[in-house]
Chain A
Amino acid sequence: MAETFLFNALRAATDEEMARDRTVFVLGEDVGHYGGSYKVTKDLYKTYGELRLLDTPIAENSFTGMAVGAAMTGLRPIVEGMNMGFLLLAFNQIANNAGMLRYTSGGNFTLPMVIRGPGGVGRQLGAEHSQRLEAYFQAVPGLKIVACSTPYNAKGLLKSAIRDNNPVLFFEHVLLYNLKENLPDEEYLVPLDKAEVVRSGKDVTILTYSRMRHHVLQAVKGMEKEGIDPEVIDLISLKPIDLETVGESIRKTHRVIIVEECMKTGGIAAELIALINDNFFDELDAPVLRLSSQDIPTPYNGKLENLTIVQPEQIVEAAQKMVQALV
Chain B
Amino acid sequence: MVQERIVPDTPVEGELSNKEEALRYYEDMVLGRTFEDKCAEMYYRGKMFGFVHLYNGQEAVSSGTILTMRPGVDYVCSTYRDHVHALSSGVPAREVMAELFGKATGCSKGRGGSMHLFSSQHKLLGGFAFVAEGIPVALGAAFQIRYRRDVMGEDDDRVVACFFGDGACNNGQFYECLNMAALWKLPILFVVENNKWAIGMDHYRATSQPEIYRKAESFDIPGHEVDGMDLLAMRSATLKGIDRARSGQGPTLIEALTYRFRGHSLADPDELRSLDEKEAWLSRDPIKRFETYILDRDLATQGELDDINKKIEEEIEEAVRFAEESPEPDPSELRRYVFAED
**Using a CB–CB distance below 8 Å, which chain A residues touch chain B?**
22-23, 25, 49, 51-52, 56-57, 59, 61-75, 77, 92-93, 96-97, 101-112, 141-142, 164-166
Contacts and interface: CB of A to CB of B under 8 A. Distances in A.
A307 B331 CA distance: 49
B139 A62 contact: yes
Contacts of A107: 109, 336-337
A110 B108 contact: no
B338 interface: yes
Contact of A65 (B135, B150, B340): B135
B141 interface: yes
Contacts of A70: 140-141, 143-144, 147
B41 interface: no
B2 interface: no
Contacts of B150: 51
A74 B144 contact: yes
Contact of A104 (B77, B111, B135, B137): B111
Given A51-B150, A101-B126, 16 more contacts: A62-B173, A62-B176, A65-B135, A67-B140, A69-B125, A70-B141, A72-B120, A72-B137, A92-B130, A93-B136, A97-B128, A103-B111, A105-B108, A106-B111, A107-B336, A141-B338
A66 B176 CA distance: 11
B119 A108 contact: yes
Given A68-B137, A69-B125, A142 B338 contact: yes
Contacts of A49: 151
Contacts of B68: none
B133 interface: yes
Contact of A69 (B140, B151, B340): B140
A164 B127 CA distance: 25
B1 interface: no
A64 B18 CA distance: 43
Contacts of B77: 69
Nearest to A111: B340
Interface string B143-156: 11011001110000
Contact of B110 (A67, A106, A141): A106
Contacts of B136: 61-66, 68-69, 93
Contacts of B275: none
A105 B86 CA distance: 13
Given A49-B151, A102-B339, A62 B177 contact: yes
Nearest to A102: B337
A108 B151 contact: no
Given A62-B173, A104-B108, A107-B336, A71 B140 contact: yes
Contacts of B179: 57, 59
B196 to A, nearest CB: 26
B337 A106 contact: yes
Contacts of A22: 151-152
Nearest to B178: A62
Contact of B151 (A51, A56, A106): A51
B212 interface: no
B11 interface: no
B248 interface: no
Interface in B129-185: 129-130, 133, 135-144, 146-147, 150-152, 172-173, 176-177, 179-180, 183
Given A57-B180, A141-B338, A69 B137 contact: yes
B137 A166 contact: no
Question: 5 tightest A-B contacts by CB?
Answer: A69-B140, A65-B136, A106-B109, A105-B118, A165-B340
Contacts of A110: 340
B220 to A, nearest CB: 15
Contact of B137 (A23, A66, A102, A165): A66
A59 B340 contact: no
Contacts of B126: 101, 105
A67 B108 CA distance: 22
B107 interface: yes
A106 B118 contact: yes
A103 B175 CA distance: 29
Task: Indicate the member of B133, B143, B151, B177 with the most A CB atoms within 10 Å.
Answer: B143
Given A62-B177, A68-B140, A74-B144, A104 B133 contact: no
A108 B125 CA distance: 9
A57 B176 contact: yes
B116 interface: yes
A65 B147 contact: no
Contacts of A56: 180
Contacts of B137: 65-66, 68-69, 72, 97
A165 B341 contact: yes
Interface in B39-97: 75, 77
Interface in B198-233: none
B173 A66 contact: no
Interface string B242-285: 00000000000000000000000000000000000000000000
